[in-house]
Amino acid sequence: MGGSGGGTLARRLKLRLLPEARDDLASALAWYAEQSAHLPRVLRAEVKKTLALIQENPCLYAPVLDEVRQATLSRFPYSVLYFEWEGHNTVIVLAIFHQARDPEVWEERWDRLEER
């Protein structure tokens, strides 16, 4: 595991949230703030923990569309949808998405990126 003895250090990828993913999170935090003062902190902590897991092991979660993978939060009905930007050492977060929403919204984000 660590640096000496010839072990391999785990790579930690850079993380980039699309503006729409930041908006998704801001909307969720605002909604939970209306429900309870402490829930936004709990949600933010869970998202942060999930993003750290993704950075350390982007293949941890299963693909759901092409290279897009889905990490489901354990305490909230949200998923983080992301892909590894090959050759750039970066994970791109497409969406932080309520599971009851129409997936076409994040799928369209993916389609726009693929067209570039």
Burial profile 60-92: b = 16 or more Cβ within 10 angstroms, e = fewer: ebeeeeeebbbbebeebebbbbbbbbeeeeebb
Q: Position 76: which residue type?
A: F
Q: What is the CATH number of domain 14-115?
A: 3.30.2310.20
Check: pTM over 0.75? Answer yes or no: yes
10-residue mean pLDDT series, the chain (116 residues): 45 93 98 97 98 95 96 97 93 97 94 84
Where are the domains positioned within the chain?
14-115
Q: What is the pLDDT of residue 116?
A: 67
